[in-house]
Amino acid sequence: MIQIDNLTKSFGKFRALDGIDLHLEKGQAVSLLGPNGSGKTTLIKSILGLVIPEKGSITINGQLIRNNPAYRANIGYMPQIGRYPDNMTIEQVIHMIKDIRKEQTNYDEELYHSFGIDKIKQKKMRTLSGGTRQKVSACIAFLFSPDIYILDEPTAGLDPVANELLKDKIAAECERGKLVLITSHVLSDLDGLTSHIIYLQDGKLMFHESIGQLQERTGEKKLNKIIANILTNADSKQICIS
């Protein structure tokens, strides 16, 4: 579904992404992990066309994404920090996004109702807390039931109830054969949700494996244990890149 070949991007002297090759398929819930500054956000932004790669190509559903904004109709994006115009109400923001995607009229408003956003839709964005804004971002990402979800730190700032609701929603969408790409620093949130792990370090792809493979290799069950195990072993021996 998403095919990335030799993706390279530098900011000045800094190599944010260095020859990334990836292939992501339908029905996968892929976690994108790595330390700060490892290139996670740059990779996501490259897929969204917000960052323009120097070398390499990204193909989504067989279409090259360069100079072709139409592919984004298949993507729902939830940014790490959602900031909206101060004086717009929640309702106006959602209307605006619907107006932009006029062709798509099948709305998935499950989160909109379960988060209780419908009850506060007249509130101005300026008055909302960080968590509520995060909920609005989530509603927008899921609104058009796209084939691909790109969620950048989706659970940061959410209360436990909303957190569970969002995780259930993500799991349900995976069941329906959607591709979900998540970054998060809270590994426990990803447990039981993800099917594959991508680990980036210094702009390089360290590994891309399924949870099953990783559990077998490390002998651990929990995600945070698996990652800790790999990282400690990485010091002594080179990680094999599959």
Which positions touch other proteins (CB under 8 A)?
A: 11, 45, 48-52, 69-73, 75, 77, 79, 81-88, 92, 95-97, 99-101, 137, 140, 150
Backbone conformation region of residue 103, classed left if phi is above 0, alpha if psi is from -120 to 50, else beta:
alpha
In the complex with other proteins, which residue's Cβ is closer, 88 or 228? Answer: 88
For residue 85, the minimal CB distance to other proteins (Å) is 4
Question: Cα–Cα distances in Å, from 7 out to 35, 57, 62, 124, 224?
Answer: 19, 6, 16, 40, 28
Give me the least distance between CB of 71 and other proteins, in Å please. Answer: 7
Taking the complex as a whole, how short is the minimal distance between the CB of residue 93 and other proteins, in angstroms? 8
Beta-carbon contacts of 56 under 8 Å, excluding residues fewer than 6 positions away, are 4, 5, 6, 7, 8, 19, 20
- Smallest distance, other proteins to C-beta of residue 69, A: 5
Q: How far apart are the first and last CA of the chain?
A: 19
Query: Judged by CB, which is closer to other proteins: 97, or 120?
Result: 97
Name the residue nearer to other proteins (CB basis): 15 or 72: 72
Closest CA to 200 of 229, 166, 239: 239
Nearest approach, Cβ of residue 152 and other proteins (Å): 10
Residue 16 or 214: the one with the smaller Cβ distance to other proteins is: 16
Name the residue nearer to other proteins (CB basis): 49 or 203. 49
The helix, strand and coil proportions of the chain, stated in percent and rounded to the nearest 5, come to: 40, 25, 35
